[in-house]
Structure 1
Amino acid sequence: MEARHLRYAVALADHRSFRRAAATVGIAQPPLSKQIAALEREVGARLFDRTARGVVPTAAGEAFIARARRSLAEASAAAIDAARADRGETGRLSLGFVASALLDPLPAVLSRFGTQRPDVRLVLHEMATSRSTAALVTGELDVAVGLGPPRGTGAESLVSVTIGRDHLVAVVARTHAYAGQRTVAPEQLRNQQLIVAPGEDEPAIAIGLRRLLGPDSWTLEAATVARDVHTIAGLAACGVGVGLGPSRMRLNARPDVWMCDVSPRTRLPDLTLSFRADDRSRVLEAFLDTIRADCPDVGDALDRRLDHSAPSDREPPLREAGPGKDR
């Protein structure tokens, strides 16, 4: 039994006439009569009565037609669902990210993607870069936004592209002695209670801070460890100490804190988007298209990574996150 047999039976039930039903399904009347007769033999029951009033479904025919309609509707829905999935309009995307990415660019990217792909289920995980790299390799994540290029086992199987750059800033309460300064020097930080992100989660940042303050500085050993950039700013606002974090914190500046650059300028690991090179998911492709739309500086570099244009190892210069003025 094929789908066409179901369509023939439904058309005959709707039109109560072999002639009209044949015209609807696009075949001649004699072949339609033969197909219905063959269908009745296969089912083992008479599905239609031929009467003076037209062709009328029997009780068996009514039961068959009800199921046939549902089957045809399901087949149509299956085709529609398959087409939508092929366009990346449905499915699931698992994204891991560091907290600073929620300052920029993830808010705009996730908002646009959610609007354009409302039926894609986004599964979001805040996690450290070292953890997200491992989760990408094992397939737990589809895409990750972390700090610096992926490292460790399996990192060579990933495609990565820089989506943002940062340098180190200090954040203090408005009542702090450093409030109002445009810059703060390393020697000014060495005698302060510092507030930093966990070094074991983002070791590249910890290494940079040790290089800035000196490997033997007690300041880092005694620092208050905050979970993320939002907590760093919050603790600084409470007067706990001097927070150190990425310049993109300026995008979500609070009125009760002051931010200034650390001088000399200390560059932090790049904000990096990574995914598996062999992932051919349409949903991932749609997400990357959203990245291209919201991060135009990234598009060319991403295409080069995917070999969609002339090969090159250079990336276009990216503007650092955050406005130019100190707060």
Structure 2
Amino acid sequence: MEARHLRYALALAEHQHFGRAAASLGIAQPPLSTQIAALEREVGERLFDRTSRGVLPTAAGEAFLARARTALAEMRLAGIDAGRAARGETGRLRIGFTGSALLDPLPGVLGRFRRTHPAVRLALQELDSPTAAAALLAGELDVAVGRGSPRGAGAEDLVTVPIGTDHLVAVVSVAHPYAGLPSVDLEQLTQEHLIASPDAVSSYLRPAFGPDPAALDGATMARDVHTIAGLAACCAGVGLGPDRMRLIARNDIWFCDVTPRFRLPDLQMSFRVTDRSPVLASFLSVVRQNCADVGSRLDDLLARHPSAAG
């Protein structure tokens, strides 16, 4: 039984006449009669009564036609769903991200993606950079956003593109002596109780303090940039973090540049180069639109990656 047989039966039920039904279908009457007869043999029941008043569905025919309508509707929806999935309009995308990315650029990227792809299920996890990288390498994420490039087995199969640069800044309460200063130097910071994330301390802050990183040994560990800013506002110490922390809208904190300027590892987005998911392709398209220079860098990385072909 094929979809055309269902359409033939429905047309005959609508027009109640073989000639008119055949004309509506764009076929000759004899083939329609032959196909309806073959359908009745396959079903094992008479579906239509041929009467002087027209060709009318039997009780078995009415039951068959109800299912036929549903089946054809489902077939149409199946085609629509297949097209949407192929265009990346449905499906699931798993993203792990470091907290500072929620200041910029993720709000713009995720907001735009939500608006343009409302049927895609986003699974979002805030993770420190090493954990997000490990989850991506383990196949537990589709996209990781963190500082620095993922390392470990399988990293050669990833594409990693910078999506933001930062330098180190300090954040203090407006009641702190540093409030109002445009900058503080590292020597001043070594005299303060510091607040930083474990990820930052382990991956990039110690080199900033050069041969004397002891000031970090007693630092208060905070999970993310919002906690760092909040603790600084409470006069719990001097917070250290990326320049994008300035986007935190609070009137009880003050930001100072750190001199000499110390550039932090780039905020990077990573994904598997062999991932051909249309949803990922749609997400990357939104990233290209929202993040300056990402498109050309991404094209170059994909062109040069040995696993990108195919």
TM-score (norm 2): 0.95
Number of aligned residue pairs: 305
C-alpha root-mean-square deviation of aligned residues, in Å?
A: 1.3
Deviates more, 1:267-276 or 1:246-255: 246-255
Q: What amino acid is the match of 1:233?
A: A
Q: Give the Cα separation in 2 of the matches to 1:5 and 1:217.
A: 79
Matched, 1:288 2:276: no
Distance 1:76 1:46, change over 3 A: same
User: Could you say which residue in structure 1 is the equivalent of 2:242?
Assistant: 246
Q: Give the Cα separation in 1 of the matches to 2:285 and 2:80.
A: 22
Secondary structure of 1:306 counterpart: helix
User: Could you say which residue in structure 1 is the equivalent of 2:41?
Assistant: 41
Matched, 1:303 2:303: no
Question: Kindly, what percent of the aligned residue pairs are identical?
Answer: 65
CA-CA distance at 1:65 after TM superposition: 0.6
CA-CA distance at 1:19 after TM superposition: 1.4
Q: What amino acid is the match of 2:270?
A: S
Q: Give the Cα separation in 1 of the matches to 2:48 and 2:190.
A: 93
Contact 1:148/1:272 (CA < 8 Å) preserved in 2?
yes
What runs of 5+ residues in structure 1 fail to find an aligned partner? 313-327
User: Could you say which residue in structure 1 is the equivalent of 2:52?
Assistant: 52
| Residue deviations 1:180-238 (CA, integer Å, cap 9, x gap) | 1111011101110100101xx35xx5353222324454321111000000000000001
Secondary structure of 2:140 counterpart: coil
Secondary structure of 1:178 counterpart: coil
Distance 1:271 1:217, change over 3 A: closer
Q: What amino acid is the match of 2:223?
A: R
Deviates more, 1:206-215 or 1:168-177: 206-215
Q: Give the Cα separation in 2 of the matches to 1:215 and 1:70.
A: 74
Q: Give the Cα separation in 2 of the matches to 1:13 and 1:38.
A: 16
Q: What amino acid is the match of 1:104?
A: D
Q: Give the Cα separation in 1 of the matches to 2:108 and 2:42.
A: 58
What runs of 5+ residues in structure 2 fail to find an aligned partner? 306-310
Q: Give the Cα separation in 1 of the matches to 2:82 and 2:204.
A: 49
Secondary structure of 2:281 counterpart: helix
User: Could you say which residue in structure 1 is the equivalent of 2:265?
Assistant: 269
Contact 2:197/2:223 (CA < 8 Å) preserved in 1?
yes
Q: What amino acid is the match of 2:275?
A: D
CA-CA distance at 1:153 after TM superposition: 1.7
Q: Give the Cα separation in 2 of the matches to 1:11 and 1:301.
A: 56
Q: Give the Cα separation in 2 of the matches to 1:212 and 1:120.
A: 41
Q: What amino acid is the match of 1:171?
A: V
User: Could you say which residue in structure 1 is the equivalent of 2:219?
Assistant: 223
Q: Give the Cα separation in 2 of the matches to 1:36 and 1:217.
A: 86
TM-score (norm 1): 0.91
Secondary structure of 2:293 counterpart: helix
